[in-house]
């Protein structure tokens, strides 16, 4: 950890104006006590990026990014924490101690930059090799798969020579340090401490992060080597479980098409692109990870899992559907004819059959229920019980309340087990490490309290003025409710009356908010619950302030230990 004293960091933060810093990158307009602009971290047409000068924080209600002036600079300019502090300290003419420990962080930043350069270099080298004699076999393979030169170029496909040292030799010759090649996962040491190339005799597929920077490679063997696909090792830039293939290219298209297709393989992605279907990405392993789900959720478009309709494909789709369901991603499963993957389908019929499959997609939950039904059957009591038991835990892990309610209802209808029984069964403790630990009962009751606050405001708009004092919109934990609260606050500020119709017209394009609003059925004692929630929030705020005092005392003591002059 870098060691700039906490007090000094706070002094830096206090001596710069977050509005001043942010407005160098974002055009901000006043909106009540806060300022709004177009988010620099995601593409949007209406401003949801908000700066709160009072608390010196920012928050985007579109993509969820938020933080203080340091995190803003870190994310906007790709700085390390220490670099952001240094930059602002320089502006404010505050001298920072040159702490020795800083070296660690600076070294990592330097290494990351060098590794990026090494990967970029390697991609160029591999594609040059593909075009030469050494790459003939790879070119033949790719030609047989039906790829055009243009597709190969736009995905920067290449070939890593067999000899085992080609990249190492050429790279170091061109001034790429061994340490950079190693940090990039492009070379590794053997038992005798000698470096050799990580990828040998393989077709290389560069893997990009969302900014389009190459962070690793997938590489397919042309022979019988195992594994058939080899990925870069996890390292300073690359984390297999986090990345997806083609997501950077799919981003714009997904927004335009309002959907994202997830397929199984690299070549599926490439074939889809070649057929003009660009909103397509693939996982890097066999299964989607919770981290993938998190990233997909940020795209805010429905995700279609387009899988082969054979048994392994059905099983893979089932696993992926569960990951998306528990990751709160809206989505559906689109199955292709058994034995055909997306690559086969588009090579034979272009994008038409893919679009058709997506049109016939079934939503994630229905698909998951159908799989269980196919396994156990519904014609016997035993079968219905098995279906219910298999699915009831999964329902409990769906974080979004609206989707979870719907899932309960559909499961009850299908199995004819009363909803109340399913609900009490669902209370079983979640398996360790699984699910979403933060969505505990305490979390749920907090969200319910947020709902009461909004219900009470819909009954009496003036109530909001007190709410905003203690619990402004940006504190709402539930995304949908946060949108509703923000819209409500805007209406109130403009002096308009707060009605469901008014809110619906403002929120029309935000499905998650509309769902949250529609789920706000009136409750008799909403005001009572809302009042006690506000009291609780106010109490917590006092405790927190007292806590700050304690922290200040502790810091002062550390700075001037007893007995020191
Ligand atoms: Zn944003």
From 209, 231, 253, give the residue that closes a domain: 231
* CATH code for the domain of 146: 3.90.980.10
Cα separation, 72 vs 55, whole angstroms: 14
Task: Report how far ligand 1's centroid is from the alpha carbon of 252 (Å).
Answer: 15
CA of 74 to the centre of ligand 1 (A): 15
How far is the C-alpha of 257 from the C-alpha of 279, rounded, in Å?
Answer: 7
Find the 420 Cα to ligand 1 centroid distance in Å.
39
Residues 19 and 54 in one domain: yes
Cα 528 off chain centre by: 37
Give the Cα separation of 281 and 331 in Å (integer): 14
Mark whether 146 and 201 lie in a shared domain: yes
CA distance 10 to 418: 56
Count of Cβ atoms closer than 10 Å to residue 465 Cβ: 11
Sorting pLDDT into bands at 50, 70 and 90, what band is 540? low
Q: What is the 44 CA–ligand 1 centroid distance (Å)?
A: 8
Q: Is residue 257 part of a domain?
A: yes
- What is the distance, to the nearest Å, from the Cα of residue 391 to the centroid of all Cα atoms in its chain? 26
Distance 46 CA to ligand 1 centre (A): 11
Domain identity same for 328 and 267: yes
Span from the CA of 189 to the centroid of ligand 1 (angstroms): 42
Q: What is the distance between the terminal CA atoms of the chain, rounded to a whole angstrom?
A: 29
| 334: confidence class by pLDDT, cuts 50, 70, 90 | very high
pLDDT greater than 90 at residue 525: no
What's the confidence (pLDDT) of residue 428? 42
Tell how far the Cα of 60 is from the centroid of ligand 1, in angstroms: 5
Mean pLDDT for 247-258 is 86
Domain containing residue 272: CATH number: 3.40.1360.10
Report if residue 402 sits inside a domain: yes
Cα 491 to averaged position of ligand 1 atoms, centre (Å): 22
Please give the mean pLDDT across all residues of the chain.
85
Low-confidence winner among 64-73, 89-98, 229-238 (lowest mean pLDDT)? 89-98
Q: For residue 230, what is the enclosing H or E element?
A: strand 229-231
Confidence of residue 78 (pLDDT cuts 50, 70, 90): confident
Give the model's pLDDT for residue 102: 56
Q: How far apart are CA 68 and CA 56, in angstroms?
A: 6
| Number of independent structural domains in the chain | 5
pLDDT of residue 558 exceeding 70, the answer is no
* 394 and 450 fall within a common domain: no
Q: pTM to 2 decimals? A: 0.61
What's the CA-to-centroid distance between 37 and ligand 1, angstroms? 10
DSSP β-ladder status, 229-231 and 244-245 = unpaired
Q: How far apart are CA 21 and CA 84, in angstroms?
A: 11
Check whether residue 248 and residue 352 sit in a common domain.
Answer: yes
Compute the distance from residue 531 Cα to the ligand 1 centre, in Å. 32
Q: What is the DSSP letter of 281?
A: E
Q: What is the mean pLDDT of residues 395-417?
A: 87
- 404 pLDDT band (50/70/90 cuts)? confident
For the chain, the helix, strand and coil percentages under 3-state DSSP, each to the nearest 5: 55, 10, 35
213 Cα: distance to centroid of ligand 1 (angstroms)? 20
* 489 pLDDT above the threshold of 70: yes
Q: 327: CA distance to ligand 1 center in Å?
A: 19
Q: Which of 158-162, 247-251, 535-539 has the highest mean pLDDT?
A: 158-162
Q: What is the pLDDT of residues 201-212, one digit of tens each?
A: 999 999 998 778
**How far is the centre of ligand 1, averaged over its atoms, from the C-alpha of 300 (Å)?**
11
Considering only residues 537 and 86, tell me which one the structure prediction assigns the higher pLDDT: 86
Residue 90 pLDDT exceeds 70:
yes
pLDDT for the residue numbered 256: 83
Of residues 556 and 243, more confidently modeled: 243
Would you state the pLDDT for residue 565? Answer: 35
β-strand partners of 35: 30, 51
Q: Does residue 538 lie in a domain region?
A: no
> 405 C-alpha to center of ligand 1: Å?
29
Separation of 39 CA from ligand 1 center, angstroms?
Answer: 4
Residues 196 and 296 in one domain: no
Quick one: pLDDT band at residue 557, thresholds 50, 70, 90? very low
Cα(61) to centroid(ligand 1), Å: 7
CB 187 within 8 A of CB 200: no
* DSSP 3-state of 336: coil
Residue-wise pLDDT for 377-386, tens only, equals 999 999 999 9
Tell me whether residue 431 is in a domain. Answer: no
* pLDDT exceeds cutoff 80 at 429: no
pLDDT given at position 544: 52
Residue 418 vs residue 443, higher pLDDT: 418
**Does 448 reside within a domain?**
yes
CA 192 to centroid of ligand 1, rounded, Å: 49
The edge-to-edge listing of strands for the beta sheet with 158-160 is 158-160, 202-208, 214-221, 229-231
Output the CA 59–ligand 1 centroid distance in Å: 8
At residue 1, the pLDDT reads 43
Q: Quote the pLDDT of residue 436.
A: 39
CA of 237 to the centre of ligand 1 (A): 23
**Model confidence at 480, in pLDDT bands (50, 70, 90)?**
confident
* Same domain assignment for residues 162 and 259: no
At 236, give phi and psi (nearest 5°). -65, -25
Question: Is the confidence at residue 50, as pLDDT, over 90?
Answer: yes
Looking at the fold, whether 151 and 257 belong to one and the same domain comes out as: no
Q: Region 49-77: what's the mean pLDDT? A: 91
DSSP assignment of 406-420: HHHHHHHHHH---HH
- Distance in Å, CA 52 to ligand 1 centroid: 15
Q: Is 552 part of any domain?
A: no
How many angstroms does the Cα of residue 251 sit away from the middle of ligand 1? Answer: 14
Give the integer Cα–Cα distance in Å for 445 and 443: 6
Domain boundary, last residue among 25, 60, 91? 91
Whether the per-residue pLDDT at 148 is higher than 90: the answer is yes
Average pLDDT rounded to a whole number, residues 498-514: 80
Residue 132: how many other CB atoms lie within 10 Å: 11
Question: The dihedral of CA 138, 140, 146, 152: what is its sign?
Answer: positive
Q: How far is the CA of 299 from the centre of ligand 1 (A)?
A: 11
- Say what the pLDDT of residue 423 is: 83
- Cα(308) to ligand 1 centroid in Å equals 35
Inside any domain, residue 83? yes
Residue 246, by phi and psi: left (phi above 0), alpha (psi -120 to 50) or beta?
left
Judgement on whether residues 421 and 352 belong to the same structural domain of the protein: no
Same domain? 256 vs 221: no
76: nearest Cα among 26, 1, 4: 26
Give the model's confidence band at 227: pLDDT under 50 very low, under 70 low, under 90 confident, else very high.
confident
Residues 165 and 203 in one domain: yes
Residue 113 scores a pLDDT above 60: yes
277 CA distance to ligand 1 middle (Å)? 26
* CA of residue 110 to ligand 1 center, whole Å: 28
Query: What is the side-by-side order of every strand in the sheet holding 57-60?
Result: 29-31, 34-37, 49-52, 57-60, 66-68
pLDDT, residue 542, reads 60
Q: Measure Cα distances from 432 to 99, 215, 318, 391 in Å.
A: 41, 32, 21, 18
Q: Please tell me the distance from the alpha carbon of residue 262 to that of residue 269, in angstroms, as a whole number.
A: 9
Q: How far is the CA of 40 from the centre of ligand 1 (A)?
A: 6
Among 472, 399, 407, smallest CA distance to 438 is for 399
Instruction: Look at residues 231, 266, 296 and tell me which one is the last residue of a structural domain.
Output: 231
Q: Return the sign of the alpha-carbon dihedral for residues 244, 249, 255, 260.
A: negative
Residues 224 and 156 reside in one and the same domain: yes
- Rounded to the nearest whole angstrom, what is the distance from the C-alpha of residue 255 to the centroid of ligand 1? 14
At residue 193, does pLDDT exceed 70?
yes
Q: Residue 439 pLDDT more than 70? A: no
Question: What's the CATH number where 38 sits?
Answer: 3.90.580.10
Residue 463 domain-assigned (yes or no): yes
pLDDT for position 551: 42
Query: Which CATH number fits the domain that encloses residue 492?
Result: 1.10.860.10
Instruction: Find the 48 Cα to ligand 1 centroid distance in Å.
Output: 7
Q: What is the distance between the alpha carbons of residues 163 and 196, in angstroms, rounded to a whole number?
A: 9
Question: Which pLDDT band holds residue 316 (cuts at 50, 70, 90)?
Answer: very high
Contact 365, 408 (CB under 8 A): no
Burial of 559 (0-12, 13-18, 19+ CB in 10 A): exposed
Among the listed residues 221, 241, 235, the one whose alpha carbon sits nearest the alpha carbon of residue 283: 241
Check residue 476 and give its pLDDT: 84
Query: 308-331 burial string, b = 16+ CB within 10 Å, else e?
Result: bbbeebbebbbebbbbbbbbbbbb
Please give the distance, rounded to the nearest whole angstrom, from the Cα atom of residue 433 to the centre of ligand 1: 30
| Number of other CB atoms surrounding residue 423 within 10 Å | 14
In the chain, % of residues over pLDDT 70:
90
Range of the domain at 140: 110-231
Mean pLDDT of 327-332: 89
Distance 515 CA to ligand 1 centre (A): 21
């Amino acid at each position: 950890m870098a060691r700039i004293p906490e007090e000094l960091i706070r002094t830096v933060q206090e001596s710069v104006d977050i509005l001043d810093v942010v407005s160098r990158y974002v055009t901000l307009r006043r909106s009540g006590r806060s300022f709004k602009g177009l988010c620099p971290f995601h593409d949007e047409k209406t401003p949801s990026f908000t700066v709160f000068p009072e608390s010196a924080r920012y928050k985007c209600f579109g993509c969820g990014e938020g933080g203080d002036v340091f995190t803003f600079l870190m994310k906007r300019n790709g700085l390390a924490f220490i670099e952001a502090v240094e930059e602002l300290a320089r502006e404010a003419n505050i001298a920072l101690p040159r702490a020795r420990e800083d070296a660690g962080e600076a070294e990592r930043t330097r290494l990351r930059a060098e590794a990026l350069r090494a990967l970029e270099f390697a991609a160029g080298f591999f594609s040059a090799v593909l075009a030469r004699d050494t790459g003939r076999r790879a070119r033949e393979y790719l030609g047989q798969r039906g790829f055009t030169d243009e597709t190969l170029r736009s995905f920067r496909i290449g070939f890593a020579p067999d000899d085992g040292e080609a990249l190492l030799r050429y790279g170091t010759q061109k001034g790429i340090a061994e340490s950079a090649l190693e940090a990039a996962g492009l070379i590794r040491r053997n038992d005798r401490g000698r470096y050799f190339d990580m990828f040998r005799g393989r077709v290389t597929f560069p893997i990009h992060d969302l900014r389009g920077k190459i962070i690793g490679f997938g590489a397919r063997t042309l022979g019988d080597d195992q594994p058939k696909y080899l990925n870069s090792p996890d390292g300073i830039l690359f984390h297999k479980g986090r990345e997806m293939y083609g997501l950077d290219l799919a981003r714009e298209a997904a927004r335009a098409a309002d959907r994202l297709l997830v397929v199984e393989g690299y070549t599926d992605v490439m074939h889809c692109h070649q057929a003009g279907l660009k909103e397509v990405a693939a996982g890097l392993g066999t299964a989607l990870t919770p981290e993938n789900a998190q990233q997909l959720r940020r795209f805010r478009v429905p995700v279609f899992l387009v899988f082969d309709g054979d048994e392994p494909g059905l099983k893979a789709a089932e696993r992926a559907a569960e990951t998306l369901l528990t990751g709160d991603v809206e989505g559906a499963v689109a199955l292709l004819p058994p034995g055909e993957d997306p690559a086969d389908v588009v090579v034979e019929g272009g994008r038409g059959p893919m679009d058709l499959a997506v049109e016939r997609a079934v939503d994630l939950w229905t698909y998951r229920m159908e799989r269980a039904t196919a396994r156990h059957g519904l014609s016997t009591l035993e079968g219905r019980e098995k279906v219910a038991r298999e699915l009831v835990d999964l329902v409990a892990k769906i974080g979004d309340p609206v989707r979870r309610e719907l899932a309960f209802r559909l499961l009850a209808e299908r199995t004819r087990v009363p909803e109340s029984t399913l609900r009490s069964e669902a209370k079983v403790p979640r398996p360790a490490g699984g699910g979403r630990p933060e969505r505990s009962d305490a979390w749920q009751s907090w969200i319910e309290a947020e709902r009461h606050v909004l219900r009470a405001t819909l009954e009496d708009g003036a109530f909001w003025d007190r709410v905003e004092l203690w619990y402004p919109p940006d504190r709402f934990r539930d995304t949908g409710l946060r949108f509703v609260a923000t819209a409500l606050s805007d209406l109130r500020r403009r002096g308009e009356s707060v009605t469901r119709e008014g809110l619906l017209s403002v929120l029309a394009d935000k499905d998650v908010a509309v769902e949250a609003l529609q789920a706000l059925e009136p409750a008799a004692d909403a005001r009572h619950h809302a009042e006690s929630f506000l009291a609780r929030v106010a109490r917590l705020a006092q405790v927190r302030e007292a806590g700050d005092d304690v922290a200040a005392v502790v810091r002062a003591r550390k700075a001037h230990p007893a007995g020191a002059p």
